[in-house]
Chain A
Amino acid sequence: QQQVKQSPQSLIVQKGGISIINCAYENTAFDYFPWYQQFPGKGPALLIAIRPDVSEKKEGRFTISFNKSAKQFSLHIMDSQPGDSATYFCAASSPGNTPLVFGKGTRLSVIA
């Protein structure tokens, strides 16, 4: 019940295309859903996050879509660029001092 299932494991997208990464969870107590971006040799960096009181959040080319009833959330990267090539992790946490539960990651490659 503590798992966050992320798919796909890897993704290749043409430059200018839309990258979509999906995550699903079971724990209905989760109330915070961030996405992290990690480049090789670096720590993950917070990209965008959402709480379940909204169904969508957009920051620049990055959008989180959240479906509370289906217990799913996704990251959309519009106009994908080669510089977006990285590993993306979804995560979730419940209220209080509980650590994030991470998905297993998606390796995105954007090719020209």
Chain B
Amino acid sequence: SQTIHQWPATLVQPVGSPLSLECTVEGTSNPNLYWYRQAAGRGLQLLFYSVGIGQISSEVPQNLSASRPQDRQFILSSKKLLLSDSGFYLCAWSPKGYQPQHFGDGTRLSIL
């Protein structure tokens, strides 16, 4: 069966510091991968998605970037965090060509 791992579960970072969140998927190959952000009590905002290694689509221009160095690894990064980057970051995967999307348990990011 397929599983998705996200780490860390919680992270507290100072303003201006760098960020690296990692997501890996097991039990499948060539998945579509997604990064979402969810503000407290709010909906899901799609940040990036990838249909293959090195192929990244950005949905929202902002302080973040994404990379996919391996087939089942998706990384969310920032060079300098802003207060507005606080939130709940969710990684998800889906099989090629059809849904559904399956989510990880997220990373709670707090910026001080």
Contact = CB atoms under 8 A, between A and B. Distances in A.
Contact of A32 (B46, B98, B108): B98
Contacts of A103: 43
The binding surface of chain B is classed by DSSP as loop
B39 to A, nearest CB: 11
Interface of B: 32, 34, 41-44, 46, 49, 51, 59, 90, 92, 96-106, 108
Nearest to A105: B43
Contact of B106 (A32, A43, A95, A99): A43
Interface in A41-88: 41-46, 49
Contact of B101 (A42, A100, A107): A100
Contact of B32 (A95, A97, A104, A107): A97
21 contacts: A34-B99, A34-B100, A41-B108, A42-B105, A42-B106, A43-B90, A43-B92, A43-B103, A43-B105, A44-B90, A44-B103, A49-B99, A49-B100, A93-B99, A97-B51, A99-B32, A99-B59, A102-B46, A103-B43, A105-B43, A107-B41
Of the candidates A32, A96, A100, the one having the most CB atoms from chain B within 10 angstroms of its own CB is A100
A46 B102 contact: yes
Contact of B103 (A45, A95, A96, A107): A45
A99 B46 contact: yes
A96 B100 contact: no
A97 B51 CA distance: 7
A46 B100 contact: yes
B43 A102 contact: yes
